[in-house]
Amino acid sequence: MAVTKISFGGQSNGSGASVNFATDNALFLKVFAGEVLQTFETATVMKDKHMVRTITSGKSAQFPVTGTASAAYHVPGNDLATDGTYLSAIKSAERVINVDSLLTASTFVDRLDEMKNHYDVRSIYAQELGRALAKQFDKNLIGLAILAGRDSASITGGPSNSTFAADATYNTAAGLINGLHLAAAKLDQNDVPSEDRYCVITPSMYWSLVNSTAGLALVDRDFGGDSNGVYSDGTLLKVAGIALVKSNIAASVFGQTVSSVTGQNNTYSGTFTNTQAVVFHKNAIGTVKLMDLAMETDYDIRLQGNLMVAKYAMGSGILRPECAIELKTA
């Protein structure tokens, strides 16, 4: 015997027997998974790879730079104070880094919309605003490291890398590895410490290195020791003693022309269309921090919602050009 009247709890206004999923399940609750799929975080990598100075007031910070002295063997009877053979005129200069205008990222959350939602949106939005600022920070520093390699010496007659030769093969794994060895030699010639050397590359270049014959040799314990990476994990740590830094944000600088932005009181812009990688020591660039990353949320009764603002006041600049080298194809 067929049942003639059925109560379809999932249908809107009981439209009757149906085999349509949307019709039969219109009123049933959606099960909340307890997780929110956020935009994948773009890793920022530059924060701990350069010099940072915090100031409590002021518009800029001064970084003194000194030259080198010379030595000479003393001849008995000669006066060290008057004989120019022995005296060294040590040159001095300075690098000044300005604080950029306040960088902000903000959004507005309507109170009624927030009440209707069944998960906390403000904590998620706060993370995204912070990431937006961090990405801009990394972009500025990567561009700055390239500009440092092009800059003239701080001390007249001092070392710089503005004439480091371009090579069309730097866009290949083998060519880049060769370039990193040349860069290491150049840094040694400039008396740059062997520790805290980094090379920023794009993910595509990193995986080209890992998957190359030359890269495989670097993780072979006969060539790279026991701690330079694992091929099965896709890890390659160093080339020529220079730590490899994989950065998604580098793709927004390498191969691009970066324009200046109103509010930037230091130079981060330039034509980087042929740049494949940048090698630098921690002392190459620096940041002056007046206001660290902060988050503010304020309820506006007129707009019936919360205004969320992430902000910081910092500025970055070149300190020692002899500590940076751009690897470019032309």
Alpha-carbon distance values, 322 to 69, 214, 238, 276, 279 (Å): 17, 28, 21, 19, 11
* Cβ-Cβ contacts under 8 Å for 187 (sequence gap 6 or more): 194, 197, 279, 281, 323, 325
> What's the CA gap between 209 and 249, in Å, rounded?
18
Give the tokens for residue 282: 């921690």
> What's the CA gap between 36 and 223, in Å, rounded?
45
- Cβ-in-10-Å burial (0-12, 13-18, 19+) of 232 comes to exposed
CB 239 within 8 A of CB 327: no
Per-residue pLDDT of the chain (330 residues; tens, 9 = 90+): 555 555 666 677 766 666 677 777 777 666 655 555 555 556 678 988 999 999 999 999 988 877 778 888 888 888 877 777 778 878 878 899 999 999 999 988 888 877 777 667 778 888 888 888 889 999 999 999 999 999 988 887 777 766 677 899 999 999 999 999 999 999 999 999 999 999 999 999 999 988 887 766 676 555 555 566 676 566 788 888 999 999 999 999 999 999 999 999 999 999 999 999 999 999 999 999 999 888 888 888 988 888 888 899 999 999 999 999 999 998
CB 199 within 8 A of CB 240: no
Q: How many residues does the chain have?
A: 330
